[in-house]
Amino acid sequence: MTLLAGEIYLLRPKGRGQVEVYDVITHRLQRCITLPNFCGIIDMTSCKHNQCVYISDHIVECVHRLDVQGAVTRWAVNDRPRGLSVNAAHNVIVTCNVVRKVKEFSSHGYVIRELVVPSSIINPSHAIQTCSGQFIVCHGHPDDPVNRVCMMSDDGRHIVHSHNGQRGSDTGKYDVPRHLAVDDNEFAFVADVNSRRVTLLSPTLEYVRHVVQCDRLKWLPCRLCLDTVQRLLYVVDNECKDGVWTVGRVAVFSV
């Protein structure tokens, strides 16, 4: 899910890509938009400047661009995309976990640059570029020994800060950190899927606290969206059975 122009955009595959648009105050359904040639949802984000929503498709290896008028286009990533975010230049940051790259595109899909992440970053899921130009990256799958959040330099060559390393569920550790949200002061919220919680980190990636504990979730927190004005954190809370996402909801928390 993502927020744009006072509305919530929520994607439900349902055998095809259908975006449901809700009023952010009343939570009433406003309209539905079907994405043509949609195959596989993986993430979505929005851009206030360009008035559009971006949706990554890991099957077709593309990003769908949906503007507020409902027009849909798409552009190729040429690698399997995973996490999406938008930087201060209003460009799209696409994380490609298989090839360990972070790619920057214009709003209409022109390649601006590609960064190969440091060798210690295995299976990066999501990257957000801070206003200072550095990238906060979460990485690690269940079979990976290292599950952590790190900050890499703006050229992608160096790790500047990192939080945790060995996979685990103890405080200060992660078990599949999947998605990020960053506020205006560059504090980072981390969706820790298998630990079933959301962790808050300082701008230098020091542990602050758990902002959402497992007892406040029904299933697994797989996506985050932060309303920096209202200080509301939207958590996509989904159930997974035998590797298939079966049911879900959006939980909203005051932060």
Q: pLDDT above 90 covers what percent of the chain?
A: 82
Q: Which of 10-19, 34-43, 193-202 has the lowest mean pLDDT?
A: 10-19
pLDDT digits (tens, 9 = 90+) for 74-97: 999 999 999 999 999 999 999 999
Is residue 135 over pLDDT 90? yes
pTM assigned to the model = 0.95
One-letter amino acid at 112 equals I
Residue 219 covered by a domain: yes
**151 close to 161: Cβ distance less than 8 angstroms:** yes
In a domain, 179, yes or no: yes
Q: State how many domains the chain has.
A: 1
Residue 29 lies in a domain: no
Inside any domain, residue 31: no
* Contact indicator for 124, 82 with CB cutoff of 8 Å: yes
Average pLDDT, the chain: 93
- Split at pLDDT 50, 70, 90, the class of 16 is low
pLDDT (mean) for 191-213: 96
Residue 30 lies in a domain: no
The pLDDT score that the predictor gives to residue 15 is 53
pLDDT at 170 > cutoff 90:
no
Q: What is the pLDDT of residue 243?
A: 74
Structure tokens at 215: 């007892």
Q: Is residue 3 part of a domain?
A: no
Considering the domain boundaries, does residue 113 fall inside one? yes
Q: Are 43 and 84 in contact (CB under 8 A)?
A: yes
Residue numbers of the domain that contains 64: 40-254
Residue 15, judged by CB atoms within 10 A of its CB (0-12, 13-18, 19+), counts as exposed
Residue 5 in domain? no
The pLDDT score that the predictor gives to residue 166 is: 81
Domain at 187, CATH number: 2.120.10.30
pLDDT at 206: 95
Model confidence pLDDT, tens digit, residues 218-237 = 999 999 999 999 999 999 99
Distance CA 154, CA 84 (A): 17
Structure confidence at residue 244 as a pLDDT band (50, 70, 90):
confident
pLDDT tens digit string along 176-193? 999 999 999 999 999 999
Q: What angle do CA 195, 198, 204 make, to 5 degrees?
A: 115
